[in-house]
Amino acid sequence: MIPNENYKNLKDSYLFYNISQKVNAFIRQNEGVHIYRMGIGDVSLPLCEEVIKALHKAVNDQSAKETFHGYMPECGADFFRKAVGDYYRSRGILIADDEVFVSSGASDELGDILDLLGRDKTALIMEPAYPAYVDANIIWGNRIVRLDAGMENGFLPMPSDIPDRDNLKPDIIYICSPNNPTGAVYDREKLSEWVGYAIKNDAVILFDAAYEAFIEDEALPHSIFEIEGAEKCAIEICSLSKTAGFTGTRCGYTVIPKTLERAGMNLNSMWVRNRTTKTNGVSYIIQRGAAAVFTEEGQRQIKENIKVYKNNARCLMKALDRLGIKYTGGKNAPYIWMQCPGNMGSWEFFDYLLSKAQIVGTPGEGFGKCGEGYFRFSTFGSPEDTEESAARLVRLLG
């Protein structure tokens, strides 16, 4: 049947598109007004110097016959795969370079990777969740089982929280840690439990590690592959968007261990087969820029940028503490997930903040029903705007 009728099951439009439509309408009615943007997690700082230098050099390489590159290897340039592999190995995670695949970013990859897992599957999605997980599975026609997170489980639901656990056999389990939108982070013990559950059910964990670089607490795991057994049940999807300001530049990476097999098929080899058919890879120039993130100087420079976002988070947390508003996140993640004041609904609070203080955040309901009554702030804005927003919040809600 043409077209794909699953599209009928999607919401009319995507969360961040809805928000931008609302904000644009407000701007049209209030010409010249300054908007404090803390909605979508888009970075405000430019790429670091080390990346820019590598990008410029790569552009020059493309201008000379001797250094010019045509098609790139579909799974990633050797220099890029090695740079990422070294990054993991420097943290004691022994992956091989050919277990790393380049991508044009985590959001694309989180949908594309479903190619590996087959049709008519059951996907377990912990909500509130990044809405692309849900949409990709709806488009694919998968059955979605939602697992609600809330204050009562610290926004870190466990296998024992799964409704009808004895009768459910998920094929795919999404875990995002540090979490978007709640900022909650699984510790090793809890992640081990999920790994054990996935192995027991023959499920594959899609581990979204896009925010790993924001973890401050040393004891918390940055990668699912820090957990024993994960090499038999997990795929890790990572992005340079937030870590290194690549939201507009686009580059990420995916780790698929060669030990990951299901029904006698090897998922790493399957992804090689998929990529060689479906993509011509990521451009030479972008991969050169991305590889520069993993040099010693690149790491030092991106950490300077992350510090700026962490200061933003502290500034907002201080304001919420002062107001006595409950929240999670901010410390090990670039998102702050707060309870809406005065029992307001999350879209109601969105409208209130926009009209009274010109602040844009993201309504929790956009991340799933159980996000109703919550609101997310991104800490990727400019320090000036974040400070002013914090002051406005205190004035408005104090």
Binding-site ranges for ligand MLT (CB under 6 A): 40-42, 107, 130, 180, 241, 378
Min separation Cβ 13 and ligand MLT, Å? 15
Q: Provide the minimum distance between the beta carbon of 264 and ligand MLT in the complex, in angstroms, as a whole number.
A: 35
Residue 170 or 183 having the CB closest to ligand MLT: 183
With contact defined as beta carbons under 8 Å apart, do 168 and 122 qualify? yes
Nearer to ligand MLT, 204 or 240 (CB): 240
Query: CA 203 to CA 270: how far, in whole Å?
Result: 17
- Cβ distance 364 to 373 under 8 Å? yes
Amino acid at 334: P
Closest CB 134 distance from ligand MLT, rounded Å: 13
To ligand MLT, the closest distance from the beta carbon of 14 in angstroms equals 10
**Whose structure tokens read 């370079």?**
97
Count of helix runs (H) and strand runs (E) in the chain: 12, 15
Give backbone dihedrals phi and psi of 344, rounded to 5 degrees, phi first.
-70, 150
CB 274 within 8 Å of CB 36: no
Tell whether omega for the bond before 128 is within 30 degrees of 0, i.e. cis: yes
Q: How far apart are CB 106 and ligand MLT at their closest, in Å? A: 7
The least distance separating ligand MLT from the CB of residue 362, rounded to whole angstroms, comes to 7
Phi, psi dihedrals of residue 201, rounded to the nearest 5°: -100, 5
236, β-bridge pairs = 207, 255
Cβ atoms of 278 and 76 within 8 Å: the answer is no
Measured from the CB atom, the residue of 182 and 241 that comes closer to ligand MLT is 241
Q: How far is the CB of 81 from ligand MLT (least distance, A)?
A: 23
- Going by C-beta distance under 8 Å and a sequence separation of 6 or more, which residues neighbour residue 209? 177, 222, 223, 224, 236, 237, 238
Please say which residue, 81 or 250, places its beta carbon nearer to ligand MLT.
Answer: 250
Between residues 16 and 26, which has the closer beta carbon with respect to ligand MLT? 16
Query: Is the CB of 180 or the CB of 268 nearer to ligand MLT?
Result: 180
CB of 43 to ligand MLT, least distance (A): 9
User: Token pair of 146, please?
Assistant: 């939602």
Tell me whether residue 300 or residue 369 sits nearer to ligand MLT (CB atom). 369
For residue 257, is the peptide bond before it cis, meaning its omega torsion is within 30 degrees of 0?
no
- Three-class DSSP category at 109: helix
Q: How far apart are the first and last CA of the chain?
A: 56
Closest residue to ligand MLT: CB criterion: 41
The secondary structure of residue 331, as a DSSP letter, is: S
Q: Which is nearer to ligand MLT, 17 or 68 (CB)?
A: 17
